[in-house]
Chains A and B, each alone.
Chain A
Amino acid sequence: MIDLDTYVQLLGLVQNSIIAGAVLGLVGGLVGVFVMQRDMAFAVHGISELSFAGAAAALLLGVNVVAGSLVGSLIAAVLIGLLGARARDRNSIIGVLMPAGLGLGILFLALYPGRSANKFSLLTGQIIAVDSPQLAWLVGISVVVLVALLLLWRPLTFDSLDPDVAAARGVPSRFVALAFMVLLGLIVAVSVQIIGALLVMALLVTPAAAALRVSASPVLVPVLASVFGLFSAVAGILLAIAGSLPISPYITTISFAIYVACRLIGRASRRGVRVAI
């Protein structure tokens, strides 16, 4: 362990990382609510592997890693959105894209002559490895996703629940579905930088899944999901800098613990009186 003075010093150094983690946790939780409703957890995983490939390519070419990650993410998201309108098609497309992306990423990393810490961080995350201008980018992208998601909120809810009826009521389903995929691609690219391609779901799936266990309110679920996401990310970073372990396992463990707790609470409340929250 380290003493308090050193911790405070470190805290100053990673201040930006904490802000980025907080914003990602919050927005990721919100996006997760729709990931769950649209049954897209597997898509999140697929997009993150292509995002990893993009980032690895950028590393190899010596260009901006966030940009590379974004390009990979968006290509995957749009492909899945265009080719996989139906759930069954979607899963097969993701199943095909995922190993291709992961394989390419590993190839690029193998060719990359630089520090191996950089390589590893793309898969399992290390926000400290991201410098300030890039952090600004991550926060900026997250905010864009947040605003766009709020503007899309109602049509997206309708389309997630019942695309046929939504289309009949004037929701431009294709546009809404594709727009959501783009937002998902953007937020995945940010998450890959912070917790790594393999662990993206801890911030994009777990918090929302936990929230859905304890509430069915259209207001409370998104609020809880963002609070859970934010808490996991920030607490994970704060714990990690006190020790020598990487950040990701802290974030994933906290996020998982919240989920388990919510399951237990949900079960208890279903047994007792149903609370209409």
Chain B
Amino acid sequence: MTAPAGPRAHEHPVRVLDGRVDDERRDGTDVLRLERASLGFGERTLWSGLDLAVKPGEFVAVLGPNGSGKTSLLKTVLGQQPLDSGRVLLEGAPVRRGDRRSGYIPQQKLVPPGTPLRARDLVALGVNGHRFGLPLPRRGERERVDELLASVGATSYADRPVGSLSGGEQQRLRVGQALADDPVLLLCDEPLLSLDLAHQRGVSELIDRRRREHDTAVLFVTHDINPILDKVDRILYLAGGRFREGTPDEVLHGDVLSGLYGSPVDVFRSHGRVVVVGVPEAETHAHDHHHPDEHPGIHA
């Protein structure tokens, strides 16, 4: 469908799958599809004509300056933000609010000390937090929570109050919480923000391992590609009402980004890190002087 024809067509990378992945997820149908999706607020177009297909186990990073609509894209996929036009499909059907097939990992927001929840309670909310009725534990829930805690390496602090844990530890718990229902898609909104390097690596490895072992698709919004550069399959770069999609090598190019921003931008690589220089200051607010109907960057 949306993948551009020619040499840039994206092959779904071959992965080592464990026995737990069912056939439905393996047969190559897209987990997430955006078709000619457009969204804007008032006069301002965030993106329009956006096509994106994410296959099981694919790790797609969404990059772009502040205000380019990265978070709005996630809200759209979460069914919380209707599109102006186009469609968003989760496993072939339009997305709906509160769909438990997608797991959501938010920005790290410290839980205040004194919150009456232990680490395991935070994870348990992913399992039963949506359920009305007397808050009595059901059979099997404790085991499930223990399993999730173990899968994110949080067993050692399972019974500590959440508010006493570090940002990185809390973020691991949020990953565990998001995995509660074995999601087919993980939506991550800057999950590494304000974590130190060691925890950035730890949390991004958890997410990477999850998609490798369970073929979960990942849509990862970030302003800094470096912590996940060696993990991503593709990048969707949003800027100035336009976008560009491709492998990191294709997108993180001076020419490509200059085209997106409409002004000269340089991309440097050093020691496996990428540095983008020259992003216009005005990019964070004014987009009106761009031409929102044009997409010079797409499929070029």
Are A and B bound to each other? yes
Q: Give A residues with C-beta under 8 Å from B.
A: 33, 37, 150-155, 157-158, 161-162, 164-172, 211-213, 215-218, 220-222, 274, 276
**How far apart are the CA atoms of A35 and B122 in the complex, in Å?**
19
Taking a contact as CB atoms closer than 8 A, the residue among A154, A161, A164, A166 that contacts B132 in the complex is: A154
Instruction: List 11 other contacts, CB 8 Å, given A153-B134, A212-B114, A276-B161.
Output: A37-B115, A154-B135, A155-B131, A165-B174, A165-B177, A169-B100, A169-B129, A216-B117, A221-B116, A274-B164, A276-B118
A216 & B135 in contact (Cβ 8 Å cutoff): no
Question: In residues 103-122 of chain B, which contact A (Cβ within 8 Å)?
Answer: 104, 106, 109, 111, 114-118, 121-122
> Smallest CB–CB gap between A269 and chain B, Å?
12
**How far apart are the CA atoms of A208 and B55 in the complex, in Å?**
48
Interface magnitude class on chain B: 35 or more
Main secondary structure of the interface of A (DSSP, over half): helix
A216 & B163 in contact (Cβ 8 Å cutoff): yes
A152 & B132 in contact (Cβ 8 Å cutoff): yes
Between A and B, 28 residue pairs with Cβ closer than 8 Å are A150-B135, A152-B132, A154-B128, A154-B131, A154-B135, A155-B129, A155-B130, A155-B132, A157-B117, A157-B125, A157-B129, A157-B135, A158-B125, A161-B122, A165-B104, A165-B106, A165-B174, A166-B129, A168-B78, A169-B104, A169-B125, A170-B98, A172-B98, A216-B164, A217-B118, A274-B164, A276-B159, A276-B161
What residues of chain A lie closer than 8 Å to B163, measured between beta carbons? 216
B159 & A150 in contact (Cβ 8 Å cutoff): no
What residues of chain B lie closer than 8 Å to A211, measured between beta carbons? 116
Closest A-chain residue to B129, C-beta based? A158
What residues of chain B lie closer than 8 Å to A154, measured between beta carbons? 125, 128-133, 135
Closest B-chain residue to A209, C-beta based? B114
Q: Give B residues with C-beta under 8 Å from A.
A: 78, 80, 97-100, 102, 104, 106, 109, 111, 114-118, 121-122, 125-126, 128-135, 159-164, 174, 177, 187
A161 & B117 in contact (Cβ 8 Å cutoff): yes
Q: Given the interface contacts A170-B99, A170-B100, does A164 sit within 8 Å of B118 by beta carbon?
A: no
**How far apart are the CA atoms of A163 and B133 in the complex, in Å?**
19
B134 & A150 in contact (Cβ 8 Å cutoff): yes
> Smallest CB–CB gap between B278 and chain A, Å?
33
